[in-house]
């Protein structure tokens, strides 16, 4: 396994990337002066992969299967991975998103031993009727916990208000009813389809060298034959399901998410699109914007106010969110501001301020091991190399941002999700 050096003269940073003979992509980002190391292994298999093709065979699985599989991989015939990490002193975790599943740890000592545990974890599936059934109770409790979270509910209610058919409108963990249908055979189908090393990425950030990582991977990773997989996604109309959804919760201050749905191809946005969107939204909703000042003057928002861009395979939405004493009034002010923005365009001064802020925040992110490892992995799965992302931000023009605006923030195609008290 030979590493290729990837560097950015603009940022003054570098990392190393190789494709191992097993098919695993390995990325090592040494950070001078860092005592700790952050490592992760991920697969491009998340909650929206409920229907897919594998080597010509169509497979459908119950909602929540990807998350269930994440839980079960920590268990093997010779013990639980968390118990093994307790002996090395590493802090381990995992997560499942809509598009991927990731296993990770951070450590200051015994890096080799900890990485070997991580590699064993993803190579030794152990699913039996008894162990799979035992996990149902644990995950059922996790599902109920999310059901009781107002932040989670306002988000999932929004997705159900925006999307008719796309599986992003389904909870990542599924439901108590759907996970009861998961069997060892279903888990093995998913594992054999998507935990193939040709579909996986390892990222190491911090106090580690490419030679050290190469030695560990060579000694532990087993070869894999490529598997042909592809996700099956339904056609999703442009129009939202509803323009308003509400849920009553025991909260002191109502919270809201206002989502603007946009047309979404069944691929990922590129670096230029993301850069233009980020600058657009920071200029529109940032603390120096006219919209922010008006909402503050009307006492309709607090420090929780912000935005995010949700995008993936077949889904794209701009989401503006926060807490408000009157979410409907805040949403009307936002939609009025959107219409003026489409009429007048982004002002040059707002664009330049937002561009500096977005670029500065991106540069600062290179000092955070966990976010850097996540961006490296996400970039590998989406085809968005991180240094090219920095170049895209630096190269975006005001004209690029206003052209991107034409595709986003449709005030006639949005949904307001609200969670409020009695």
Residue 70 bears catalytic tag: yes
Q: CA of 179: how far to CAs of 12, 31, 152, 233, in Å?
A: 47, 41, 19, 21
Average pLDDT estimate for 187-212? 96
Q: What whole-number percentage of the chain has pLDDT above 70?
A: 100
DSSP string, 84-102: HHHHHT-EEEEEE-SS-EE
pLDDT digits (tens, 9 = 90+) for 96-113: 999 999 999 999 999 999
Average pLDDT estimate for 306-319? 97
pLDDT at 1 (0 to 100):
75
Per annotation, catalytic residue among 2, 13, 14, 70: 70
Per the prediction, the chain carries an average pLDDT of: 95
Q: How far apart are CA 358 and CA 283, in angstroms?
A: 10
- Backbone torsions φ then ψ of 248, nearest 5 degrees: -90, 130
Using 50, 70 and 90 to split pLDDT, how confident is the model at 223?
Answer: confident
pLDDT at 372 (0 to 100):
95
Fold match, 4-231 / 244-420: yes
pLDDT digits (tens, 9 = 90+) for 262-275: 999 989 999 999 99
pLDDT at 78 (0 to 100):
81
pLDDT at 337 (0 to 100):
98
Using 50, 70 and 90 to split pLDDT, how confident is the model at 224?
Answer: confident
Q: CA of 196: how far to CAs of 199, 200, 268, 291, 383, in Å?
A: 5, 7, 22, 48, 19
What element of type H or E holds 38?
strand 37-43
Pairing assessment for the beta strands 57-60 and 51-54 based on DSSP bridges: antiparallel
Average pLDDT estimate for 43-60? 97
Residue among 266, 233, 99, 66 nearest 165 (CA): 233
Using 50, 70 and 90 to split pLDDT, how confident is the model at 53?
Answer: very high
pLDDT at 202 (0 to 100):
98
Report whether 185 contacts 59 (CB < 8 A): no
The residue ranges of every structural domain in the chain are 4-231, 244-420
276: left (phi > 0), else alpha (psi -120 to 50), else beta? alpha
Q: Which homologous superfamily does the CATH classification assign to the domain defined by 244-420?
A: Metalloenzyme, LuxS/M16 peptidase-like (3.30.830.10)
Give the start-end residues of each E strand in 122-235. Answer: 200-206, 229-231
Q: How far apart are CA 123 and CA 103, in angstroms?
A: 12
pLDDT at 77 (0 to 100):
82
Residues with Cβ within 8 Å of residue 344, at least 6 apart in sequence? none
Angle value at C-alpha 269, between 61 and 99, nearest 5 degrees: 25
Q: Give the DSSP letter of residue 277.
A: H
pLDDT digits (tens, 9 = 90+) for 125-182: 999 999 999 899 999 999 999 999 999 999 999 999 999 999 999 999 999 999 999 9
- The residues with which 25 forms a beta bridge, in sequence order, are 19, 201
What element of type H or E holds 47?
none
**407 has a pLDDT exceeding 80:** yes
Using 50, 70 and 90 to split pLDDT, how confident is the model at 298?
Answer: very high
Q: Which homologous superfamily does the CATH classification assign to the domain defined by 4-231?
A: Metalloenzyme, LuxS/M16 peptidase-like (3.30.830.10)
Q: CA of 314: how far to CAs of 98, 194, 305, 410, in Å?
A: 11, 19, 27, 18
Using 50, 70 and 90 to split pLDDT, how confident is the model at 193?
Answer: very high
pLDDT at 270 (0 to 100):
95
Q: How far apart are CA 306 and CA 41, in angstroms?
A: 30
- The residues with which 90 forms a beta bridge, in sequence order, are none
Residue among 399, 209, 414 nearest 332 (CA): 414
pLDDT at 113 (0 to 100):
97
Residues with Cβ within 8 Å of residue 118, at least 6 apart in sequence? 39, 41, 92, 103, 104, 105
Q: Give the DSSP letter of residue 411.
A: T
């Amino acid at each position: 396994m030979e590493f290729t050096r990837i560097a950015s003269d603009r940022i003054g940073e570098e990392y190393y990337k190789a494709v191992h003979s097993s098919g695993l992509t390995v990325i090592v980002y040494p950070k001078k002066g860092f005592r700790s190391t952050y490592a992760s292994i991920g697969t491009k298999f998340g909650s929206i992969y409920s229907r897919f093709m594998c080597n010509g065979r169509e497979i459908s699985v119950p909602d929540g299967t990807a998350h269930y599989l994440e839980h079960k991989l920590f268990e093997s015939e010779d013990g639980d991975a968390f118990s093994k990490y307790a002996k090395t002193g590493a802090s381990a975790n995992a997560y499942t998103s809509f598009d991927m599943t990731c296993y990770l740890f951070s450590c200051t000592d015994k890096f080799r031993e900890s990485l070997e545990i991580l590699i064993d974890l993803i190579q030794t599936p152990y699913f039996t009727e008894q162990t799979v059934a035992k996990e149902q109770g644990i995950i059922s409790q996790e599902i109920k916990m999310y059901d009781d979270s107002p932040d989670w509910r306002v988000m999932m209610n929004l997705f159900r208000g925006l999307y008719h058919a796309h599986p992003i409108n389904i909870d990542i963990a599924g439901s108590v009813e759907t996970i009861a249908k998961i069997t060892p055979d279903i888990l093995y189908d998913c594992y054999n389809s998507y935990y193939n090393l040709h579909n996986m990425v390892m990222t190491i950030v911090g106090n580690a060298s490419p030679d050290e990582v190469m030695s560990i991977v060579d000694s532990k990773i087993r070869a894999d034959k490529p598997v042909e997989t592809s996700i099956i996604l339904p056609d999703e109309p442009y129009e939202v399901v509803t323009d308003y959804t509400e849920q009553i919760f025991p909260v002191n201050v109502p919270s809201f998410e206002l989502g603007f749905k946009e047309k979404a191809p069944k691929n990922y946005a590129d670096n230029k699109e993301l850069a233009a969107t980020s600058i657009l939204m920071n200029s529109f909703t940032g603390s120096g914007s006219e919209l922010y000042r008006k909402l503050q003057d009307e006492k309709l928002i607090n420090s929780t106010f912000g935005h995010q861009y949700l995008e993936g395979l077949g889904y794209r939405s701009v989401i503006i969110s926060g807490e408000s004493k009157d979410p409907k009034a805040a949403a009307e002010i936002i939609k009025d501001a959107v219409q003026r923005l489409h009429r007048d365009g982004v002002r040059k001064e707002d664009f330049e301020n937002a561009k500096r802020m977005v670029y500065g925040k991106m540069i600062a992110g290179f000092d955070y091991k966990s976010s850097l490892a996540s961006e490296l992995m996400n970039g590998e799965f989406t085809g968005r190399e991180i240094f090219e992302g920095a170049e895209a931000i630096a190269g975006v023009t005001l004209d690029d941002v206003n052209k991107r605006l034409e595709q986003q923030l449709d005030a006639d195609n949005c949904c307001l999700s609200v969670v409020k008290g009695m």
